[in-house]
Structure 1
């Protein structure tokens, strides 16, 4: 009888839940240089094979080898020089998630008061197992957002359970330094404001300064970025949560269900209830 255990029957790429921006698998040949570029999301780089020389403010002229991982915070600039052929998995995220109040609070306290220097972490055995599985899933293009979010939680538990809090505090310290930065101000508050003018006022910026800084940081106009995020958040809530349509409507700042329905039809071509119904038909 033919062994069917590794046959994948689901085409995730055609699904509304398809997600490219949580985990990525990358290969680079020896001698390749990746020029300095701005990091648009907090990123952990897990090196499965090879050797890399990293150059950034957080990791100045640092050698990064197989079985190790590093962090680059949002807004930082980094360049890579591939010294030996590389296979790597990248994990991209907007903010550290709190999965344990006690360790989270202790870590934040330690990180905010500690010296920020280059931190290169070693993979423990459970992390090796996790990353081996992630590579297989990414190779199979298994990118369901619900599945990848569960793997994200698994990764965070592995970090939390198998690494000393002192090491984790140092590892995350670069992110805590950015907590008061413009990037984090945007990511932490974009759901709380209705328009660009209110956003600028919330941060104490003039409209022109806010627009300029936003375009320089995120590479597109503030209004366009905010609209995309609002659409993504609404679609996620409709497709992946148990919130009622009314709750989603008011959560995202709409004054009435009719306004919310008009927004969904204009941006998705469907009413919110029709989008919700898609989940029931999957």
Structure 2
């Protein structure tokens, strides 16, 4: 392993990235482990070795193999079951996703590739009472030779103890250039589908921060909008009303918690702010056409079939 020179100076530097959720992180899991991920920011997960099964929001469990990359949007819960000993590298995107100075993420949405049936559910609406259907498994990128070399050096420096914030920021920018230069626009449009809007700065701020504010007024003020101005901007970007979008996010996260956690259904209802268990049952039935108990029973039976 490479030796980091002047390690003491590095550790004492104010730019040392010792946050609980650093920009770059390497994690090893053992077969049989499980984990829950609740990202506050957009995140890329690179699987260098092993295999895991993941479930996010409304999806069932899907496999991710060695050499694949997953994009996990902000505030989208992820449950993982480790099938084989697994080595992953996580890159958290604290800044706006910008592929290069001359090509924004928004440009993927307006490119001709978006006309080829690419799925984007960020602003999709659902008919009240008919439930939210399960989405297809997320599109995974494969690690190509250029990305493989990038990850090799990234992990080498991480293991040596190089955790400088400026270095990490540079590596994130380098990653964006690699994606821009060595992956097709069609691949990137599919990969980033859950983050594609006409204004990614606005949508990413909303997706990363909407749970931190008590009401729409506070969120609008935090972004420098009046309530009416915020609602107008929101409808333009997300193609739906703020209340409908937040309700849908709440429903998805509650569904995920029902199917993956060991908490009682009453506890889950309290976590998601319902004043009573009947109110929680009504909310879930309106969105999914089933009660929380029916959903959990169905998931349990599906899990038994997998054994």
1:237-274: CA deviation from partner (whole Å, max 9, x where unpaired): xxxxxxxxxxxxxxxxxxxxxxxxxxxxxxxxxxxxxx
Counterpart contact for 1:112–1:176, Cα < 8 Å: no
Matches within 5 A, 1:1-282: 6-11=3-8, 12-19=10-17, 20=19, 21-35=22-36, 37-57=37-57, 60-94=60-94, 95-102=96-103, 104-110=105-111, 114-116=118-120, 117=136, 118-176=138-196, 179=200, 184-185=205-206, 198-199=221-222, 202=225, 204=227
Change (3 A) 1:175 1:197: closer
Measure, in 1, the Cα distance between the counterparts of 2:40 and 2:175: 21
Measure, in 2, the Cα distance between the counterparts of 1:70 and 1:160: 16
Q: How many residues align?
A: 201
Measure, in 1, the Cα distance between the counterparts of 2:114 and 2:75: 18
Counterpart contact for 1:46–1:90, Cα < 8 Å: yes
Measure, in 1, the Cα distance between the counterparts of 2:16 and 2:143: 28
Measure, in 2, the Cα distance between the counterparts of 1:112 and 1:199: 32
Counterpart contact for 2:105–2:200, Cα < 8 Å: no
How big is the shift at 1:9?
Answer: 2.0
SS at match of 1:39: coil
Measure, in 1, the Cα distance between the counterparts of 2:201 and 2:181: 28
What's the TM-score once normalised by structure 2's chain length? 0.56
What's the TM-score once normalised by structure 1's chain length? 0.61
How big is the shift at 1:155?
Answer: 1.0
1:95-127: CA deviation from partner (whole Å, max 9, x where unpaired): 212414247453132587731351011001111
1:189-227: CA deviation from partner (whole Å, max 9, x where unpaired): xxxxxx98943872629xxxxxxx9xxx9xxxxxxxxxx
How big is the shift at 1:180?
Answer: 8.9
Measure, in 1, the Cα distance between the counterparts of 2:200 and 2:104: 18
1:20-68: CA deviation from partner (whole Å, max 9, x where unpaired): 4211000110001113x42211010000100010101375421100011
Counterpart contact for 2:74–2:208, Cα < 8 Å: no
Counterpart contact for 2:49–2:67, Cα < 8 Å: yes
Measure, in 1, the Cα distance between the counterparts of 2:57 and 2:27: 23
Change (3 A) 1:7 1:41: closer
Change (3 A) 1:109 1:44: same
- Give the unaligned 5+ runs of structure 1: 189-194, 206-212, 218-282
Q: Select the structure with the greater relative contact order (CA < 8 A; seq sep ≥ 6).
A: 2
Measure, in 2, the Cα distance between the counterparts of 1:203 and 1:183: 19
Counterpart contact for 2:56–2:76, Cα < 8 Å: yes
